[in-house]
Structure 1
Amino acid sequence: MNALTLRLPEQKHQRLKALAKSKGMSVNHLLDEVTTLILAEFDLKTQFEIRAQRGQGKAERGQELLTKAKTGFFE
């Protein structure tokens, strides 16, 4: 595990401490959870962009498959 020094304005630090206390956790744990959420969002966006690149030029085939799936479910 690594240590990170973070400089924040005093008011923001006090607000983070109050938020962490209200959730029953330390500021360190709160920031760990926040960074996990941010990284998960970044990973999802990256995966979406990769898949979008793989699908370029295949929209017509995708629509055909969707139509076929709809028809199969409702008949």
Structure 2
Amino acid sequence: MSTLTIRLPDDTAQRLKQLAASRGVSLNKLMEELGTTALAAHDAEIRFRAAAAGADRQGALDILDRLDEADARERRSAR
């Protein structure tokens, strides 16, 4: 297991601590979950783009745009 030190604005760090507490997990566990989620989304996008390269490229990109919009709405509603 690796240790990673990151610099965050104080208000961001405080909000992340509050989010972790509201979920009943440690800040470390929250960051692990967020990192895993980000990597899974990235991997899915890469696979999807590769599959889309041989298919309806614009249709696939339109789907990705809709997924991005849905994700943004979800993040806004979580605030």
What is the TM-score of this pair, normalised by structure 1? Answer: 0.68
Which residues of structure 1 form unaligned runs of 5+? Answer: 57-75
Which segments of 5 or more consecutive residues in structure 2 lack a partner in the other structure?
Answer: 57-79
Whole-Å separation in 2 of the counterparts to 1:24 and 1:55: 43
How do residues 1-75 of structure 1 correspond to structure 2 at under 5 angstroms? 1-55=1-55
Aligned-CA RMSD value: 1.2
Deviations 1:10-56 (A, max 9, x none): 11111111110111111110011011111111111100111122337
Q: TM-score, with normalisation over the residues of structure 2?
A: 0.65
| Structure 1 runs, 4 residues or longer, greater than 6 Å off | none
SS at match of 2:24: coil
Matched residues, number: 56
- Matched-pair identity in %: 43
